[in-house]
Chains A and B, each alone.
Chain A
Amino acid sequence: MTMTESPPATATGTDGDTAVPRIAGGLHTWLTTSDHKKIGLLWVAVSVLLFAAVTVVGAVLGFERADADSVDIFGGVNSYFQMWTLYRVAFAVLVVAPLFIGIATVVVPMQIGSTNIAFPRAALGAFWTWLIGAGITISAVLIGGGWGALDGVTSDEADAISLTLLGTGMVIFSLLVASVCIATTIVSMRTSGMNLSRVPLFTWSMLVATSVWLITLPIAASNLVLAYVDLHHGGPSTFGNPEPVAGATAIWQQVDWVVSQPQVYAFAIPLLGILGSIVPVAAGTRHVSHSAMIGLIGLFGFLSVGGWSQPAFHDGTEDFLFIAFGLVILLPVLGSLAGAASTLAEGEGIGFKDTHLLASLGAGVVLLAAVVSGALRVVEPFHLIARSTTTGVFNLVMVSAVIAGVAGLWFWAPKITGHQLAGGLGKLVVLDLVLGGLLLGLTDLVSGFLETPDFLLAPPVSSTADALNLVSVVGAVMVALGALGLVAGLLGGLRSDAASAGDDPWDGHTLEWATTSPPPEGNFSEPPAKVVSEAPLLDQSGSNESEIA
């Protein structure tokens, strides 16, 4: 049911007598809140912290791989396998997806002129369920669990592995609940006049992303439940695949597709929306083709649906759809970047001094590297399917998504924290993540051509591959440093004495900039005027010719 809610007479969240507003509240408030901005901030804060932890794990894995002659750090190949799988799963469902969900939970209701998110209690419950599920999953891996075991699951490991499977299922379930809240908000709580072709691009991208997640992630959850049941009733199922892939396990194969092509791209769908939302504001003009971006983001989402591509259902390189999806997905990314470049060219006096603009463009470049690597991977003559290129594509997609998250955080920080985040530190973080991400991903792409396998801890196949491993470690360390910078930047923004942001520091185009920073409970002091285009604030100021949809 669409509803408008009566906002309180005065805005909440101001800091006593000082003029600097802040997001306030004690533990009780954070445990019981129904305010979408607080719920979103919870998602953002925890996912950023987990990002730092995951990148440290990635760097340690890189060190181990660079000296593969002996497994010094983890003490055994199986332990290495468990942390290697934890790195992948955690990056996707404990960092990237929740980071975007957090930003969307704060921003989307305001962008569409709504007073709150749909089902706010469910949104809060989703966060806490996700957090507890994350704790169970990580703890279970640390006590010897994981998504299978290279040398077969022993009775000693069975409980911890079961706990890992169910914990991951809990995480996915909570992400799905949060997705339902966001998708329902977008579909049913838009303000008057805002039809789907007029929603801001970030909001549209979240509708596409949550739809894709809702279609595909239940399949992963089902696989996990099946694996759990099988584990308790005689050996993990191969799900119709009689010969498990060498070096992996039957259980991991049921999860691996979530973090491989094409499904891995689904975690980066909001990136295109963030790019499409930030660039027009930075250029001070409308997007050259909002309608085309709607189509491109939808196409990117469609091509990232990957439940069908798990090993039980296809045989990799010979599958026409698999190859076609891997190649065609280049189009929406190239189109989005071309749209961004054209929009910037339309603008005047672009200084590229804003962190969010640099980050959104950097994210686009890294995603382009990812889809190009993915396109090379599916071309049969290169034989890259089971090579390190797989990890390269994964790392490029994940890092590009996080950089887009950085862009979103710096752009919408006034609405998320009430303050602007430090620009200098932000640029350092972006530069670090872009360079680190490219080093991390592209070295694995090249190593793939040198026939380096995807997982196995094996001595380098050549001195060149050995050197590339070292370069990859440098990239992993840079990404880890970027993660720490991101944590510091966000903490700085949450300080109550940080500089006040102002209500609309960037001259934004969409409705979230029509309210205060931070916004009051209920978001708007009065209902927004009827929307007639994708840039309602530009319509109100009379700037630019309106592209009435």
Chain B
Amino acid sequence: MFTTGFKFFYGLGSALMAAAVVYGYTTGGDGLGPLVMGWEGGVGDHLGYGVLLTLGFVAMGIGLIMVAFRDADPAAQSHYLGVESVPSAPLVTGNFWPVVGAFGVGGMVIGLVINTAVFITGLILCSAVAIEWMTTAWADRATGDPDANRELRNRVMAPIEVPALGATMVALVVLAMSRILLASSKNGAVVVAGVAAVLILGIAVLYATRPQLGRNVVAGLALALGVAILAGGIVAAAIGERSFEEHEPGHEGAIVEIVEGSTSVEIAYTGVEASL
């Protein structure tokens, strides 16, 4: 009749509602207030009472869903389907998206503190992960053949994800690198930019010349890149942007003053004068 899951959540919901009533009366509730949700009388501390009552309703709602779909009791489900055991389902396949999502959340967290663009990049990454995740979950159950499912997923997603992933990675590297360069000293920025360029070129050459490169190496490089970007963000948060020369208003860029009847041209550029 009632599934185990229903009984658990309904019991939990009842306990939480009882707790809400007790809490209401122990924090100043009067009359029938805590029993009738404040229809008559006070409920005591509104926040605690409200939280407990809401959780109680949520638990009972989950319980009702469980009994409606008989989703928590294998024996009940087998009986419902009229089979000895519940039907088999394909194994859930693994992929990189959970890790990518984790880095996306990390990017959002760091971006909230150091730079809005990094936050938005993290948000886009998480949104992409959500779409990929849903598509993969759908494809996992499309047919009974895992290979056909994988092919189906790739046919739908590959034309989108290859260019999108490439563009996202480029944007992420550029944004993160810009923050690192801004935080570095003038000479340090040159070194950092040089090392980054060599690294990117080196990895690309390595992958181009050795397409059979092990997937563990590729995974390691991707992981190292992600960690480096987040670490760079934290360093940037620690030391802030380096100070830049302040330009006086009206003197941004070169100002050329040509004096009539003269062979000399004065060029004023952030305080530097030159004569021809």
Q: Chain A: residues with CB nearer than 8 A to chain B?
A: 1-6, 26-29, 31-35, 115-116, 120-122, 124-125, 128-129, 131-133, 135-136, 139-140, 143-144, 159-160, 162-163, 166-167, 169-170, 173-174, 187-193, 195-196, 211, 215, 219, 228, 302, 307-308, 313, 320-321, 521-522, 527
Residues of A within 8 A of B91 (CB): 5-6, 34, 115-116, 521-522
Do the beta carbons of A124 and B99 come within 8 Å of each other?
A: yes
Do the beta carbons of B99 and A31 come within 8 Å of each other?
A: yes
Q: Chain B: residues with CB nearer than 8 A to chain A?
A: 4-5, 7-8, 12, 15, 23, 26, 45, 47-48, 51, 55, 71-75, 77-78, 85-99, 101-103, 105-106, 109-110, 112-114, 133, 214-216, 218-220, 223, 230-231, 234, 237-238, 240
Do the beta carbons of B8 and A159 come within 8 Å of each other?
A: no
CB-nearest residue of chain A relative to B27? A313
Shortest A230–chain B CB gap in Å is 14
Do the beta carbons of B99 and A125 come within 8 Å of each other?
A: yes
Q: How many angstroms from the CA of A28 to the CA of B96 in the assembled complex?
A: 9
Do the beta carbons of B109 and A122 come within 8 Å of each other?
A: no
Give 24 pairs: A residue, B residue, CB < 8 Å, sorted on A: A2-B73, A3-B88, A4-B86, A5-B90, A27-B220, A27-B223, A28-B216, A32-B95, A32-B99, A32-B219, A116-B91, A121-B98, A124-B94, A125-B102, A128-B98, A128-B99, A131-B102, A136-B109, A163-B113, A166-B113, A192-B78, A302-B15, A308-B23, A313-B48
> CB within 8 A of A170: which of B96, B106, B114?
B106
Residues of B within 8 A of A1 (CB): 71, 89
Given contacts A2-B86, A4-B89, contact A121 B112 (CB under 8 A): no
CB-nearest residue of chain B relative to A132? B106
Shortest B78–chain A CB gap in Å is 7
CB-nearest residue of chain A relative to B95? A32
CB-nearest residue of chain B relative to A162? B113
Q: How many angstroms from the CA of A190 to the CA of B74 in the assembled complex?
A: 7
Residues of A within 8 A of B238 (CB): 143-144, 159-160
Do the beta carbons of A159 and B102 come within 8 Å of each other?
A: no
Residues of A within 8 A of B72 (CB): 2, 187-188
Do the beta carbons of A33 and B94 come within 8 Å of each other?
A: yes
Give the number of A-B contacts (CB < 8 Å).
168
> CB within 8 A of A527: which of B85, B103, B215?
B85
CB-nearest residue of chain A relative to B237? A159
Residues of A within 8 A of B218 (CB): 28
Residues of A within 8 A of B73 (CB): 2, 190, 195
Do the beta carbons of A162 and B112 come within 8 Å of each other?
A: yes
CB-nearest residue of chain A relative to B55? A215
Shortest B53–chain A CB gap in Å is 13
CB-nearest residue of chain B relative to A156? B240
Do the beta carbons of A133 and B99 come within 8 Å of each other?
A: no
Do the beta carbons of A188 and B5 come within 8 Å of each other?
A: yes
CB-nearest residue of chain A relative to B106? A132
CB-nearest residue of chain B relative to A119? B92
Shortest A262–chain B CB gap in Å is 14
Given contacts A143-B237, A196-B4, A321-B26, contact A133 B98 (CB under 8 A): no
> CB within 8 A of A28: which of B92, B98, B215?
B215
Do the beta carbons of B109 and A170 come within 8 Å of each other?
A: yes
Do the beta carbons of A121 and B99 come within 8 Å of each other?
A: no
Q: How many angstroms from the CA of A129 to the CA of B105 in the assembled complex?
A: 7
Do the beta carbons of B102 and A196 come within 8 Å of each other?
A: no
Shortest A325–chain B CB gap in Å is 12
Do the beta carbons of B102 and A166 come within 8 Å of each other?
A: no
Q: How many angstroms from the CA of A136 to the CA of B112 in the assembled complex?
A: 13
CB-nearest residue of chain B relative to A129? B102
Residues of A within 8 A of B75 (CB): 192-193
Nearest 3 A/B pairs, CB to CB: A125-B98, A128-B102, A143-B238
Do the beta carbons of A163 and B234 come within 8 Å of each other?
A: yes
Do the beta carbons of A2 and B71 come within 8 Å of each other?
A: yes
Do the beta carbons of A27 and B74 come within 8 Å of each other?
A: no
Q: Find the residue from B85, B98, B103, B216 having the highest chain A CB count within 10 A.
A: B98
Shortest B43–chain A CB gap in Å is 14
